[in-house]
Amino acid sequence: MNMIEALNSAHDVMLGRDEAVVAFGEDAGYFGGVFRVTAGLQKKYGKTRVFDAPIAEGGIVGTAIGMALYGLKPVAEIQFADYIFPGFDQIFSEAGRIRYRTAGEWSVPMVIRSPYGGGIFGGQTHSQSPEAFFAHMPGIKTVIPSNPYDAKGLLIAAIEDPDPVLFFEPKRIYNGPFDGYYDRPVTPWARDPRAEVPEGHYTVPIGKAAVVREGEAVTVLAYGTMVHVALATAAVEGIDAEVIDLRTIVPLDIGTIEQSVKKTGRCVVLHEATRTAGFGAELSALVQERCFYHLEAPVVRVTGYDTPYPHSMEWDYFPGPARLGPALKAVLKD
């Protein structure tokens, strides 16, 4: 399965297993969403379980909260992560705090799914990576898969989770892994072992990172599309890098990070989002706080620039191997 099919399968499994699960969002019902993640599900489960929503992200999130308060498990789709901001207050001030402000009397078991990230010529309003805003919020879990197997297992875990989960899907790798070499042909998921996705129910635990490449020289912390960039760059440059796919940024798997950096003594943080106050800043600070006496070189961030995402100069903005390769070499030089 490609990632879209895997996500569709996760919905299918959960809609079939649990009558409390409903899925909705702009174009998510009859047509199955602009990326087709919910395709065919309305026909199978009926239009009161899978349905289209008005173009009002605050309304989508707010009504999903109300449904969760009732006892449903809503999976709300925000068509592009760039559009999530009209729903920001409902996520930040409401979903993330209702358990706390009611001393556990109410909880909000809901999932907000949204395609995010660049590399699709989406310009400045279809390419953003807003995960750091949500990582800053108390009470919200933020999950970002990098391959079809994880995508399905993590989405099922998110739907079963008692807390509100933001599920950001790296749309650049919906159909196949992308290593950042934009001028080379892309390999579809069909030729990748991580696309072997079981049909039924399984979970990938939230809050657990994966060591996707073992190495001794430097640790690369990445998630989403950037995991593939890290793997490709390490291979092309011949660097013995350990690549960690964080999979969840809140709660973070600090144990895996610490163990790896203490082993390698070097760390590069890689993400697509803008640099300043991005999640890389948090990762860099944590590594510095916890691994300082093991570090052989300063922690380096490789990120997008502090500008909106440009359309025509997308590949200048994109933090691909051209930016990661030199950063890895510089860290290894010290």
- The catalytic residue positions are 126
Nearer to other proteins, 171 or 247 (CB): 247
Instruction: Find, among 6, 63, 23, 46, the residue nearest to 159 by Cα.
Output: 23
Measured from the Cβ of residue 298, the count of other Cβ atoms closer than 10 Å reads 12
Tokens of 189: 């998921």
Nearer to other proteins, 57 or 179 (CB): 57
CA atoms within 13 A of residue 38's CA, in its CB half-sphere: 32
Nearest-approach distance from CB 246 to other proteins, in angstroms: 14
Of the residues 251, 276, 292, 298, which one makes contact with other proteins according to CB under 8 A: 251
Nearest-approach distance from CB 86 to other proteins, in angstroms: 7
Answer yes or no whether residue 58 interacts with other proteins by CB under 8 A: yes
Nearer to other proteins, 64 or 227 (CB): 64
Question: What is the contact mask toward other proteins in residues 98 to 137, using x (rule: CB under 8 A)?
Answer: xxxxxxxxxx------------------------------
CA torsion, ordered 298, 301, 305, 306, to nearest 10 deg: -70
Q: Is the dihedral of CA 314, 317, 322, 325 positive or negative?
A: negative
Answer yes or no whether residue 72 interacts with other proteins by CB under 8 A: yes
Nearer to other proteins, 40 or 162 (CB): 162
Residues in the interface with other proteins (CB under 8 A) total: 46
Tokens of 184: 């080379």
Binders of other proteins among 163-222, rule CB under 8 A? 163, 207
**Before 251, cis peptide (omega within 30)?**
yes
Of the residues 48, 183, 193, 238, which one makes contact with other proteins according to CB under 8 A: 48
Nearer to other proteins, 136 or 194 (CB): 136
307's CB contacts (< 8 A; 6+ apart) are 274, 317
Instruction: Find, among 195, 172, 205, 197, the residue nearest to 319 by Cα.
Output: 172
CA torsion, ordered 278, 281, 282, 283, to nearest 10 deg: 110
Answer yes or no whether residue 138 interacts with other proteins by CB under 8 A: yes
Beta-sheet pairing, 300-304 with 267-274: parallel
Nearest-approach distance from CB 94 to other proteins, in angstroms: 5
Answer yes or no whether residue 66 interacts with other proteins by CB under 8 A: yes
Q: What is the largest CA-CA distance in the chain?
A: 60
Residues lying near other proteins in the complex (CB under 8 A) are found at 22, 48-49, 53-54, 56, 58-59, 61-72, 74, 86, 89-90, 93-94, 98-107, 138-139, 141, 161-163, 207, 251-252, 254
